[in-house]
Amino acid sequence: MTRTIHNLTINGDRLWQSLMDMAKIGATEKGGVCRLALTDEDKAGRDLFVQWCRDAGCSIRIDAMGNIFARREGRNPALPPVMTGSHLDSQPTGGRFDGVYGVLAGLEVIRALNDAGYETEAPVEVAVWTNEEGSRFAPAMISSGVFAKVFEPEYGLSRATLDGQTIAQELKRIGYDGPDHPTVDAHPVGAYFEAHIEQGPILEAEGKTIGVVTDAQGQRWYEITFTGQESHAGPTPMTRRRDALVGAARIVEAVNRIGHAHQPYACATVGLMQIHPNSRNVIPGQVFFTVDFRHPDDAVLARMDHDLRAACETVAQEVGLEMDFRQIWYYAPIRFEESCVAAVRAAVERNGYPARDMVSGAGHDACYLSKVVPTGMVFIPCIDGISHNEVEDATPEWVAAGGQVLLEAMLAKADALAPARTEAVPA
């Protein structure tokens, strides 16, 4: 039987089962996962992925940032691979789909090609990027950023947890400090696609199965420390206090106000705070906290930055605090590459999935890959739009549809350099 390449189909049941099997690693009581970057759970997830890829006939490379690349050879091994991937690390209260879906959808593409005995022209690779979440080590997307030469490898390897363990140390500890040079210079890529859950409510609310991702919003991350004076909660009159937590609380309010002031798209969050000495009868002398700003328009993101700086100056002065203010991460809004977006759109149309164009609210490794490689993304809905939460969920139908779109988009690119051809594949 002769079929075009697009008669290839992924096995949705197998993909779903792999997601559920991976979710056992770091499983939490509420049905989510906690697989923080470079912990023992992350290592176990990586080991399982590597085993599955070897079983699927892939070769494995690991670079100095601990990024894993599983490769299925093409008819022309000299061509740069068409790559997909995402991350296996999670938030502390993470779900079963964020990141891992993109990785295992990539593995399912390889398994489906194997089932059909289909040889792509260019090689196909699945990447696992180290520390996408930015939860244990800030900033996020650090290793795809190194790959895209946004960060120096030394900078990436020296990122540390709040108690001082570096990525270099933790990679070594779990045995994923690989030998390969960690940038695209040593690893040219023909095209990159990433499948991901939307992590917001739009697709489900509109009854769409696929988001064709055209853009991603920009981000700015800050680390701010207010220092006042710790003193006794009883004898210290209100008029003599320099309470660092009062300052931080006012900034929490200000951050929220800034978010509301730049609607419809702005997002503004204080997600981490450390109070010193954190004792109930001591006025807080020092507070460290973070701010996460996002907007699809760089000019608005800059105005939010300006508003935050102004609010911090004012509050520090009013409350009598010293301030250490650092913007630790910034990237401008991303536009994904036209031909990759078109490949995703074509796959959606071929399958008749209800779909719409989308701007990604979350950061993804694809955002950095897009700086050095033609890149596109595929979104599927998630239940109630909830993510970074243990209850994060998706349906097997959505999971399978996104996998099918990923397969077809990758095939379109993997065969693009070859003359059009049809393949004899088993019925």
Binding site for ligand GLV (CB under 6 A): 133, 140, 362-363
Please, are residues 90 and 34 in contact by the beta-carbon 8 Å criterion? yes
- Residue keyed to tokens 């009598």: 320
Q: How far is the CB of 116 from Mn ion (least distance, A)?
A: 29
**Which residue's CB atom is positioned nearest to ligand GLV?**
362
Cis peptide before 264 (omega within 30 of 0): yes
Please, are residues 89 and 99 in contact by the beta-carbon 8 Å criterion? yes
Q: How far is the CB of 39 from ligand GLV (least distance, A)?
A: 17
What is the number of alpha carbons within 13 Å of residue 294 lying toward its C-beta?
15
Q: Provide the CA 187 distance to its chain's centre, in angstroms.
A: 21
Q: How far is the CB of 364 from ligand GLV (least distance, A)?
A: 7
Please, are residues 67 and 77 in contact by the beta-carbon 8 Å criterion? no
Picked from Mn ion, ligand GLV, none, the partner binding residue 83 (CB below 5 to 8 A depending on kind) is: none
For residue 420, how many other CB atoms are within 10 A of its CB? 8
392 binds Mn ion (CB under 5 A): no
Amino acid at 269: T
Please, are residues 212 and 356 in contact by the beta-carbon 8 Å criterion? yes
374 binds Mn ion (CB under 5 A): no
Binding range to Mn ion, per CB under 5 A, among 19-27, 97-105, 201-209, 247-255: 97-105
Report the residue number, 145 or 363, with the smaller CB distance to ligand GLV: 363
Report the residue number, 145 or 285, with the smaller CB distance to ligand GLV: 145
Give the largest CA-CA distance in the chain.
88
Rounded CA separation 382/32 (Å):
14
Rounded CA separation 103/106 (Å):
5
**SS3 of residue 413 by DSSP:** helix
Rounded CA separation 224/244 (Å):
11
**SS3 of residue 298 by DSSP:** helix
Amino acid at 246: V
Report the residue number, 16 or 221, with the smaller CB distance to ligand GLV: 221
**Which residue's CB atom is positioned nearest to Mn ion?**
99
Q: How far is the CB of 182 from Mn ion (least distance, A)?
A: 20
Give 159's DSSP letter: -
Report the residue number, 199 or 286, with the smaller CB distance to Mn ion: 199
Q: How far is the CB of 196 from Mn ion (least distance, A)?
A: 6
98 binds Mn ion (CB under 5 A): yes
Report the residue number, 153 or 363, with the smaller CB distance to ligand GLV: 363
Rounded CA separation 319/317 (Å):
6
Picked from Mn ion, ligand GLV, none, the partner binding residue 140 (CB below 5 to 8 A depending on kind) is: ligand GLV
Picked from ligand GLV, Mn ion, none, the partner binding residue 198 (CB below 5 to 8 A depending on kind) is: none
Report the residue number, 133 or 393, with the smaller CB distance to ligand GLV: 133
Residue of 32, 99, 139, 381 interacting with Mn ion (CB under 5 A):
99
Report the residue number, 12 or 211, with the smaller CB distance to ligand GLV: 211
Picked from ligand GLV, Mn ion, none, the partner binding residue 167 (CB below 5 to 8 A depending on kind) is: none
Footprint on this chain of Mn ion (rule: CB under 5 A): 98-99
